Amino acid sequence: MTAKRTAILISGRGSNMAALIAAAANPGYPAQIALVLSNQPLAGGLKRAQAHNIAVAIIPHQGKTRSQFDAELDATLREHGIELVCLAGFMRILTDDFVRAWAGRIINIHPSLLPAFKGTHVHAQALAAGVRISGCTAHFVVPELDAGPIIEQACVRVEPDDTEASLAARILAEEHRIYPQALRLLASGRVRLEDGRAVFS
C-alpha cells in the first residue's frame, strides 16, 4: 500500500508535527508527510519541517474572510495531492464547508479528555474543575469545535501541585505518543468516519 500523502497544519512550535514526522520516517508507516502548512509565517515548526526536506506553505489569514482563507487552504492541499490532513496546534476555526469537504480525512489532537474541556485554556479549565485525571484526545474533525468522533485517547494523572505548565508538559508527551497512532489507524484504513461515528476494523 502506498503511504497516504498527508499535510500537517500548524500555527506554532510544531512538537506534534515533529512526532508525526518521526513516526512517518519508519518503514511501513502508512502515511508520508508531504506538506506542512501554517497560517503564521513565523511558526517555529516551519523551520523544523524544512530541516526534514518537507514542502512548506504559508497562508496568512489576516485580511481574509474565513471562506477565502479556507478556499486557499483547500486549493493548496489539492495542489500538493494531499489525501489526509492532521491539525497539530492549528489555531484557526475552519468553515463548515471546508470540514465537510475533508470529512473523514481530517483529524486533530486536543490536550484534554474530550468531551471534557473543549476550546482554549484547557489545562486551566482542568485545574479549575479539580479533576484528578486529564489527558489528550485524537479525533476526527467535524463542524462543531472539539466534538468529532474519538480515535485515540491517553490519560494523565493531575498532581496536587500541578500548574498549567507542568500539566501541559506531561499531557504533551502523551499527545506525541497517541497522535502518530491515530494517524496510523486512519491511513491504514483501520478507522473511518461513518454516520458520525468512528468505526474501527
Residues at the interface with ligand GAR (CB under 6 A): 10, 12-16, 88-89, 109-111, 122, 172, 175
For this structure, is 52 an active site residue? Answer: no
Shortest separation between residue 13's beta carbon and ligand GAR, angstroms: 4
Q: How far apart are CA 66 and CA 62, in angstroms?
A: 10
Shortest separation between residue 12's beta carbon and ligand GAR, angstroms: 4
> Between 14 and 180, whose beta carbon lies closer to ligand GAR?
14
> Between 2 and 51, whose beta carbon lies closer to ligand GAR?
51
Instruction: Return all residues near 84 (Cβ < 8 A) that are at least 6 apart.
Output: 4, 5, 6, 7, 31, 105, 106, 107, 183, 186, 187
Q: Which of 52, 61, 110, 123 is catalytic?
A: 110
Pairing verdict, β 150-157 and 133-140: antiparallel
| Residues tagged active-site | 110
